[in-house]
Amino acid sequence: MEKELFDQKRAPIYEALQTFRNMRVVPFDVPGHKHGRGNPELTDFLGEQCVGIDVNSMKPLDNLCHPVSVIREAEMLAADAFGAAHAFFMVGGTTSAVQSMVLSCCKRGDKIILPRNVHRSVINALVLCGAIPVYVNPEVDKRLGISLGMSRAQVKKAISAHPDAVAVLANNPTYYGICSDLRAIVKMAHDAGMVCLVDEAHGTHFYFGDKMPVSAMAAGADMTAVSMHKSGGSLTQSSLLLTGENISAGHVRQIINLTQTTSGSYLLMSSLDISRRNLALRGKDVFRKVVEMADYAREEINAVGGYYAYGSELINGDSIFDFDPTKLSVHTRDIGLAGIEVYDILRDEYDIQIEFGDIGNILAYLSIGDRMQELERLVSALAEIRRRYQRDPSGLLSQEYIDPEVVSSPQQAFYAEKKSIPLHESAGYVCSEFVMCYPPGIPILAPGERITREILDYIEYAKEKGCSMTGPEDPKIEYINVLEEDGRADESVV
């Protein structure tokens, strides 16, 4: 596709599906519901238009594993819209994009520099490939109890101590809206001969909004995973993997095809195609309105008293280099309620579903589909919750992030001989599985980390407050898998 043919008004997959719908093709292929006829209850629930385009790969519709026509054109348009050399449509969520990104750069024994407060998908990738994490423990805002970005000094120190590392990975932004100095991190990585990877799950709007923090591609990163389904408006589980000029697109495609389905959903792919077109044509205006709504909500919530809806005033030029203005993060601890308690009250008593609540904060995720009247409803509900439920905050835990003691690589610990013991008896053992609150999906414990009394107290507190705990083999999280032999690994892990 020549440069002059990058017409962002086009949506090639959508157009091909429209043509297919009008052809009245007789289906002797999969899926077995045959355009919905074989599953009338599903058709009634989702609608004929939806199930009618839930089809298999065929020549006119291209193939996600090896795109040569309409999917290739759609990916090229996405790359152009996001300022990337290549874009890959991902139908396994940003988890799949993050894992493909890491697996493209790291193999067994390679070191990768990254913050410990990463999404579990990053550590899952290390379990799969056997790479060794070099953790940069983030600074913590003690008042808010949240982990911050990667400071330049910490990254520089890690690179200096581990010049043989192959990659540096950054979260940008964090769930709470905190951004690192991405340009500086990219430069430090490149100067050391390392690639720079970015988990940009919550940063789709950085590419289209005005006066936003710098995007990964604009900062010169080599690869980034972007959750189009979060702030970009596509269907859940659809995502993009973007790469820069110095990354082999053919190699990345091979890595993606190791784990991604060979039966790519055209519902998900068309939603990526249509959403990219929407953002390219209208994103700047749309996200300007989102920022205006977020600014209004922050001002109103702070006027209620007790809460702290934080924003760009936190910027310190380093570990909080910038702030995502669309993020409506609210500290709740000063009214005597954990964030998860406010989360539950909003849902159960006010029919308001926010993104998540942790032990000290809530996040209301604002994006292209929000309206001002719904924000006013949220503000009113928070004011009423404060009036009805406020209590003495003494005794509430405040810190969300606990520095881990890493004993072995995630892969070694995950596949090692293990035993199941009661959680309350596990202090001192090395964990062989994950424990986390979801969302946000940042592990409290990851395979290979020492279990401490502080961590156990945190887990019990989070369970008591009603956080949704995931990860362990035991669904009740009363037992935990630990290494049979508590010896330090031969591998050097930081």
Percent of the chain with pLDDT over 70: 97
**Does 377 lie in the same domain as 464?**
no
Residue 443 lies in a domain: yes
132-183 tens-digit pLDDT: 999 998 888 989 989 999 999 999 999 999 999 999 999 999 999 999 999 9
Q: Say how far apart CA 135 and CA 160 lie, in whole Å.
A: 13
With cut-offs at 50, 70 and 90, classify the pLDDT of residue 25.
Answer: confident
SS3 146: strand
356-407 tens-digit pLDDT: 999 999 999 999 999 999 999 999 999 999 999 999 998 888 766 788 899 9
For β-strands 479-483 and 361-365, DSSP reports them as unpaired
Give pLDDT, residue 486.
Answer: 58
**Does 384 lie in the same domain as 419?**
no
Residue 289 lies in a domain: yes
430 has pLDDT over 80: yes
For β-strands 132-136 and 111-115, DSSP reports them as parallel
With cut-offs at 50, 70 and 90, classify the pLDDT of residue 416.
Answer: very high
309 has pLDDT over 60: yes
Give pLDDT, residue 396.
Answer: 84
Total number of domains in the chain: 2
**Does 431 lie in the same domain as 362?**
no
Give pLDDT, residue 463.
Answer: 87
Closest by alpha carbon to 199, among 229, 236, 230, 241?
A: 241
Residue 227 identity: S
**Does 417 lie in the same domain as 364?**
no
Residue 330 lies in a domain: yes
Residue 199 lies in a domain: no
Integer angstrom CA distances of residue 24 from 20, 37, 42, 44, 48: 7, 13, 20, 20, 13
**Does 316 lie in the same domain as 378?**
yes
Tell me, letter by letter, the H, E, C secondary structure of 87-117.
EEEECCHHHHHHHHHHHHHCCCCCEEEEECC
Residue 301 lies in a domain: yes
Residue 421 lies in a domain: yes
- Average pLDDT on 315-342 reads 97
Residue 380 lies in a domain: yes
Pick the more confident residue, 5 or 243: 243
Give pLDDT, residue 442.
Answer: 86
Tokens of 83: 């300022």
494 has pLDDT over 60: no
Write out the residue range of the structural domain in which residue 322 sits.
283-389
Whether residue 439 is preceded by a cis peptide bond, meaning omega within 30 degrees of 0, is yes
215-231 tens-digit pLDDT: 999 999 999 999 999 99
**Does 459 lie in the same domain as 370?**
no
- Average pLDDT on 299-303 reads 98
State the CATH number of the domain containing residue 460: 3.90.100.10
Residue 384 lies in a domain: yes
Give pLDDT, residue 339.
Answer: 94
**Does 414 lie in the same domain as 382?**
no
- End-of-domain residue from the set 389, 419, 438: 389
- Average pLDDT on 348-360 reads 95
State the CATH number of the domain containing residue 356: 3.90.1150.10
**Does 442 lie in the same domain as 381?**
no
**Does 343 lie in the same domain as 434?**
no
**Does 346 lie in the same domain as 441?**
no
56-84 tens-digit pLDDT: 999 999 999 999 999 999 999 999 999 99
Pick the more confident residue, 467 or 38: 38
Give pLDDT, residue 438.
Answer: 77
Give one DSSP letter per residue of 461-483, joined into a string.
HHHHHT--EE-SSSTTSSEEEEE
Residues sharing a CB contact under 8 Å with residue 172, sequence separation 6 or more, in sequence order: 149, 179, 180, 182, 198, 199, 200, 203, 213, 216
With cut-offs at 50, 70 and 90, classify the pLDDT of residue 492.
Answer: very low
Pick the more confident residue, 116 or 15: 15
**Does 384 lie in the same domain as 288?**
yes
Burial string for 151-187 (b: 16+ CB within 10 Å, else e) reads bbebbeebbeebeebbbbbbbbbbbbbbbbbbebbbe
Q: Say how far apart CA 51 and CA 59 lie, in whole Å.
A: 19
Q: Say how far apart CA 449 and CA 473 lie, in whole Å.
A: 17
Give pLDDT, residue 1.
Answer: 44
493 has pLDDT over 80: no
Give pLDDT, residue 13.
Answer: 98
**Does 292 lie in the same domain as 368?**
yes
Q: Say how far apart CA 494 and CA 486 lie, in whole Å.
A: 17
100-123 tens-digit pLDDT: 999 999 999 999 999 988 999 999
Angle among Cα 88, 94, 95 to the nearest 5 degrees reads 120
With cut-offs at 50, 70 and 90, classify the pLDDT of residue 488.
Answer: very low
- End-of-domain residue from the set 389, 424, 457: 389
Q: Supply the DSSP symbol for 207.
A: G
